[in-house]
Structure 1
Amino acid sequence: MSLLRVSNLSMSFGGVKAVDDVSFDVQPGELLALIGPNGAGKSTCFNIVNGQLRPSHGSVRLDGHELIGMRPRDIWRRGVGRTFQVAATFNSMTLLENVQMALVSREKRLYGLWKPAASCFEDEAMALLDQVGMAAHARRACSVLAYGDVKRVDLAIALANRPKLLLMDEPTAGMAPKERNDLMALTKRLVSGRGIGVLFTEHSMDVVFSYADRVIVLARGKLIAQGDADTIRNDASVQAVYFGTGKTFRPRASLSPDGATQTEPRA
């Protein structure tokens, strides 16, 4: 059985169909990229899965349990973690405290002055920071970190809930190429080892084609293509609506059988 199954999802805003009969699934340990041009319906679809929007039609099931109608925090408790395009950390708090707060929330605990929350789950919080490569900075405030490091802390916070499914909204937005690759390689290693399914939106095609196990493409609310990186690169409908006419493809030099240089398109 699929970890996440989205079936016949539809939602309209006035006369505009933002999502139009979209269906897909996510398997445990799989990274599924949700891409498309601006206005394709990616954010709407993503926010329906997360419980921020309620569709006019369709079903979203996690491990067979219907999520439609549930509040985002209840979906989170069902095992759906999320990272945000703008990392959701408390800048005045240390890295360790940020992760500890996520652990306190997971355990539904309240603490009084006799037992500060900052004294709880320290070992587990440190272990999570170590897994994302940030343990050495645990006592520093998030406000002094480089942007790429804040994204790593955001990932540790999301993993604190021990999610079955991780939703990542533009995880590499605003990052340099090396930071993008480092973060996605880290994410793939961590989620694959735990069997966590990942649904992510992303505008950087080098990230999508390098790290996604499968890709689904939306255009004007409809799912127009799905498959692995090569399938999506070579799909004529994707080239037409996402990459334009295909003239934006960079030519790759190669040698013909007679030794002459020729070019072939690549994304």
Structure 2
Amino acid sequence: MTALLEVRGLCKSFGGVRAVDGVGFALHAGEMLALIGPNGAGKSTTFDMVGGQLRADSGSVRLGGVELVGRRPRDIWRLGVGRTFQIAETFASLTVAQNVQMALLSHAGRVFSMWRRAADFQRGQALDLLDQVGMRAQADRPCGALAYGDVKRVELAVAMAHAPRLLLMDEPTAGMAPQERGGLMALTRRLVVERGMAVLFTEHSMDVVFAHADRIIVLARGQLIAEGPPQAVRDDPRVQAVYFGSGRTFERKEPA
């Protein structure tokens, strides 16, 4: 089966420091892949090179056979790559529905078009997207009045407005309560199954990673040291050494 995303030999240096050194992995449609590692491992640099926020010094990032290295983030977005951020990015003064409508306007290439009132543009589709993330009932509330967990759901609806083939999620559960974390990731899983898209996510919460990822890749000092299903990664001595340095094992935690 051909992978949707193929990363090969990815390298990035900052001055004399090699932040990412020959990282490669593949991601298939319908799969959730977690990218983890201790602080300074190179995971954020790798993540940003996939999304185009950083340009790789060498290596390849292919989405459906199309090379992404060297393309601007907006061009990569147009090719079907969505993104959510560690700190949710929405327009606080706009309503929940208007935030999603803005994304739909951008997807249609009509952000600067004045031929039609933006408030009326594809409201039905915006409401459908909000229904998918459990936020339709709050469609007319300002985003600034929402609880943070609900803002994260709105951000996910905004990302879905572009119908991405690949969704990049940077610390998706940061700042959320345990029950909210489990709910958001379960929602993401449902969207992955329903839409047949792929998700690459970074995450510091190990309970989230091991409960929701299909596979995990682990970086340390810019290099990939382990890759596989959660149980295999949990038991990998190299991963245990990197995280704990003492042979301790990850605690098993049930999804919140």
- What's the TM-score once normalised by structure 1's chain length? 0.92
Residue matched to 1:46: 47
Identify the residue that residue 56 of structure 1 maps to in structure 2.
57
Q: Which residue of 2 aligns with 1:229?
A: 230
State the partner residue of 1:134.
Answer: 135
Q: Identical aligned pairs, as a percentage? A: 65
- Decide whether aligned partners of structure 1 residues 32 and 251 sit closer, same or farther in structure 2, where only a CA change above 3 A counts: closer
RMSD: 1.3
Distance 1:222 1:79, change over 3 A: same
Return the alpha-carbon distance in structure 2 between the equivalents of residues 35 and 20 of structure 1. Answer: 15
Segments of structure 2 that go 5 or more residues without pairing to the other structure are none
Q: Which runs of 5+ in 1 are unaligned?
A: 253-267
Cα distance between partner residues in 2 of 1:171 and 1:250: 21
Task: Indicate the residue corresponding to 1:146 in structure 2.
Answer: 147
Q: Matched residue of 2:131: which SS?
A: helix
- Number of the residue aligned with 1:90: 91
Question: Which residue of structure 2 lines up, in the alignment, with residue 246 of structure 1?
Answer: 247
In the aligned structure 2, how far is the partner of 1:249 from the partner of 1:74? Answer: 40
1:129-208 alignment to 2 at 5 Å?
129-208=130-209
Paired letter, 1:49 = V
Residues 12 and 137 of structure 1, relative CA distance in 2, 3 Å threshold: same
Shift of 1:251: 9.1
1:113-132 equivalences in 2 (<5 Å): 115-132=116-133
**Quick one: distance in 1 between partners of 2:14 and 2:187?**
37
Displacement of 1:192? 1.6
Q: What code does the residue aligned with 1:204 have?
A: S
Equivalent residue number for residue 262 of structure 1: none
SS for the counterpart of 1:12 is: strand
> Structure 1 runs of 4+ off > 6 angstroms?
none
* Equivalent in the alignment of 1:111: 113
**What amino acid maps onto 1:75 in structure 2?**
I
TM-score normalised per structure 2: 0.96
Larger radius of gyration: 1
Tell me, in whole angstroms, the C-alpha distance in 1 between the residues paired with 2:252 and 2:72: 48
Partner-residue secondary structure (3-state), 2:172: coil
Q: CA deviation at 1:193?
A: 1.4
How many pairs does the alignment contain? 251
